[in-house]
A and B are shown apart, each in its own frame.
Chain A
């Protein structure tokens, strides 16, 4: 208790300096939190990817299509529970910057394959009853202010219509929510039967398959079995776990994790200098006082603890404020105006932030603290 009081009074004596140091630490952790959310957005999906799901695509190129007949052949392979076909529609809503994924699927297959997309029973029934119906994620609904029953025109870039038109119209039949915080609620699903009948060409061809395996431990074997099934055919496949597929995709954008870690290192190094410098300064300034404390019976260790405690108090308050502010800022929405499928601050990063706070307090405080510990009373009092 007496230590807490001492620490507090010491921090109070130069309010301006304490305040400024606090603010710079706060900024560092604000940036830490914000960048963690950005990284999460770029690597969205890797964590929530189903361990029991595989993605099967054309071996030569992601843009090459696979026959729809592969679905039945995949499902006959040992260890495969279910397979679902998807295709990249790549349409544009109003203008290109309003990007979100549109994917034609068979509704029942989607409900079975992705239980994390939560749809009400009425929603399911409504979608099944509407041939031009779409199932839209909550995120995209809110982003454009859509309501159930709205008719949404989407301009096709890849899939022209049989009648020569490029504009497809969909009726929003149902909304899905994410079962977890990291679930992507930006997607727009519509019915494969409508898609296949309406598109000008490519009938019976699909983009890729999502396959659920009965036993996740056997996922790698099942993946090889699927690729072997289609080996030496005109359309060979490449199968990999859903997580690896998504990670591979994120890697194409760039090594986001590396860039963000580099930036954070620069930021922390900088702030460490500022905080460490402040701590060093306060100890130098108080050499006399610390000597008096020792003279009246504070142990060397006690003085060490006092300085470290001061450093910890400063960093803790600044750091927690910064993380809190980051949470607030992140909850206000993403900086790209909705292009990120998810944008939130993961709990894991918050915990890491707390660990960093303690580590930073220690590193910034340890040198001045050791200096204080080693103070010789007689020398110091004479200064």
Chain B
């Protein structure tokens, strides 16, 4: 009987330990398209924690980590628009709203919805984003795409370049997690 309890306790502990997933190399990129200009920037260094037991998801990234194709764009993005010396980080803190329909113990691709607070340029706004969660063995991959309006986050675009930057910027996430 004692052995059974011990086995159960070990199994429970292992299950509980595997509830949190971590990623330090999350790929986040944004894309702005206007007839005049296409702008794309990537970071592969977003840090994220996903707690499968309660659906908590956090993302954190450095603004300076976003890489552009053109050096001047990157300079303007950091110095004029996002003021990365003053506000170096952006992040998200939220919850998976359909956690019950995702089985983290069974391989598959599950539709997912996340809702929470997105902080950019020191401004926090509530957002809801749809995406997928893929379970493959111990690796969990989260993919999502949502839109961000720069104006909502107090990002001032000078009128001279206003036509070159989309009113709504596509943000994409592709992050693979391992159990912590």
Determine if chain A interacts with chain B: no
